Amino acid sequence: MSSRLGLIDPASLSVEQKEAYDIMDGYTTQRYGESPTIKREDGCLLGPFGVQLHLPGIAQHFVGIGKTLLAVPGLSARAREVAINVVGAHTKAAYEHAAHARAALTLGFSKAQLDEIESGVCPADLGDDEKVAFDVATELLERPGPLREDVWQRAVGVLGNSGAMVLVQYIGWYRYIATILNGFDVQVPESR
């Protein structure tokens, strides 16, 4: 079993679930290709995408937020992955951590850098935008209350207003995803 909810066989989907499946499958295939961490060989969706099939009315909006965030300029893929990996490290969402550590490796991060992020240390050899992503994510996850003004101003100075805004949105979005993954105990897919 991959989660408390179980996987839904594509052959047994209701009409509403089939619509949700098609939306999520199209999005994930376009974005990630045929990834075994997202879809099994039998077509079952994994991770947060598999969870959304249980409440298919959410699926279109779930994918819509992901697409919208990707379209906002100002945040590099590497800075985005730093923020997501900080969220994964803080929330201990097994699926999120595994999926995005893999994504970070494909973007050229080293295992040593990911280990440092996992342990709460900002790697010294990150770019300025990546360091800002680490600091903003860490601050929002570790310190209650508003993001400190100096941290916000540094983010705007490095990323621009749009980049800083989408960074905060990504951190919130992946915190939401981590909550879903942890709430339903979504597991890392077994390697086949």
Query: Between 77-91 and 128-142, two packed helices, what is the crossing angle to 10 degrees?
Result: 30
Measure Cα distances from 105 to 78, 85, 108 in Å.
10, 11, 5
Closest C-alpha among 7, 20, 9, 14 to residue 61? 20
One domain for residues 41 and 88: no
Q: Note whether 58 and 84 are same-domain residues.
A: no
Judgement on whether residues 87 and 176 belong to the same structural domain of the protein: yes
* Same-domain check for residues 16 and 61: yes
Any domain includes 3: no
Q: Name, in order, each residue with C-beta under 8 angstroms of 164's C-beta and a sequence gap of 6 or more.
A: 74, 136, 152, 155, 156
**122 is in which domain, residue-wise?**
77-183
Q: What is the pLDDT of residues 144-155, one digit of tens each?
A: 999 999 999 999
User: Is the model's pLDDT at 176 over the cut of 60?
Assistant: yes
Domain count along the chain: 2
Q: Give the span between the Cα atoms of 162 and 101, in whole angstroms.
A: 25
pLDDT tens-digit readout, 108-149: 999 999 999 999 999 999 999 999 999 999 999 999 999 999
Cα–Cα dist 96/98, whole Å: 6
Q: Which of 28, 56, 71 is the last residue of a domain?
A: 71
177 in the same domain as 85: yes
When comparing pLDDT for 32 and 163, which is higher?
163
pLDDT at 1: 44
